[in-house]
Amino acid sequence: MLKIGDVELKNNVLLAPMAGVTDKAFRKIVQEQGAGLTFTEMVSSKALHFNDKKTEKLMDITEEKRPIAIQIFGSEPEIMGEIAKKISSKCDIIDINMGCPAPKVVKNGDGSKLLLNPKLACKIVEETVKNATVPVMVKMRSGWDENHIIADKLAKEIESAGASAITIHGRTREQYYGGKVNLEIIRAVKNAVSIPVIR
C-alpha cells in the first residue's frame, strides 16, 4: 500500500487537490466514499504569514476523516518553512504546489513558475521539510513548456531535498488543463526516484 513518509494509506485512491472544488463539503463526501487521502485547496503561505482569516479557513479540517494533506504554495523558502512549522500539528501531510498555472500565481514566482527555477524549488522543499513534523510531498507539472520538460531531473533533486512523495501532472504550464498528457515524462519521473510517484 502507498506509504508517504510514515503515513500509510488504506488504499491508492487519492483526491486531486482542486482550488475552488475540494472544499470541506466536497472532501467530506469523498472521504465518506473511502478515499485513501484527501487534499485541501491550495493555500497561500504568504497570506497565512500575514494571518489572513479567509485563507486560514481553507485549512479547516476539523471533524474530517484522516489522513488529510494541506497544500501550500509560495516561493519564499523562509515563509514556507515558517508555515510548515505552524500547520504541521493540524494535518498529516504537507503538499507543496509547483503546478498551478494561473497568471496571478505565476506572476509572483509561485506554483508552476518554480519549474523554471529548480534551485529555488529545492530550497523551498528543504526549508519546508526542515520545519515540518509531518511528511512533505510535492505536486509538479512536466515542465513550463515543451522546451523545458524537466520533471524527471527536478524530481530527483526534490527527493534529495527531503520530499516523501511526488505527484506529477503530465502537462506543461503552457498546456494548462487541456491537450495530451505526457505519459513518457510520468514514466521518467517514476524511474528517476525511489519515493512514491502519484499521477
Ligand X SMILES: Cc1cc2nc3c(=O)[nH]c(=O)nc-3n(C[C@H](O)[C@H](O)[C@H](O)COP(=O)(O)O)c2cc1C
Residues contributing to the site for ligand X (CB under 6 A): 16-21, 41-42, 71, 97, 99-100, 139, 169, 177, 181
The minimum distance between CB 119 and ligand X, in angstroms, equals 21
> Between 99 and 143, whose beta carbon lies closer to ligand X?
99
Distance between CA atoms of 44 and 105, rounded to whole angstroms? 10
The minimum distance between CB 70 and ligand X, in angstroms, equals 11
User: Which residues are within 8 A (CB) of 186 and not within 5 positions of it... i.e. 6 or more apart?
Assistant: 168, 170, 197, 199
In a 13 Å sphere around the CA of 53, the CA atoms on its Cβ side amount to 0
Distance between CA atoms of 50 and 43, rounded to whole angstroms? 13
C-alpha triplet 39, 42, 43: angle, nearest 5°: 115
Based on the residue annotation, tell me whether 91 is a catalytic residue of this protein.
no
Q: Which residue has the cell 489572513?
A: 52
Q: Beta-carbon neighbour count of residue 45 at 10 Å? A: 27
* Among candidate residues 8, 5, 44, 2, the one with its CA nearest the CA of residue 132: 5
Across the beta sheet with 93-98, the strand order is 38-44, 68-73, 93-98, 136-143, 165-172, 197-198
Given 83, 100, 114, 189, the catalytic residue:
100
Among all residues, which ones are annotated catalytic? 100
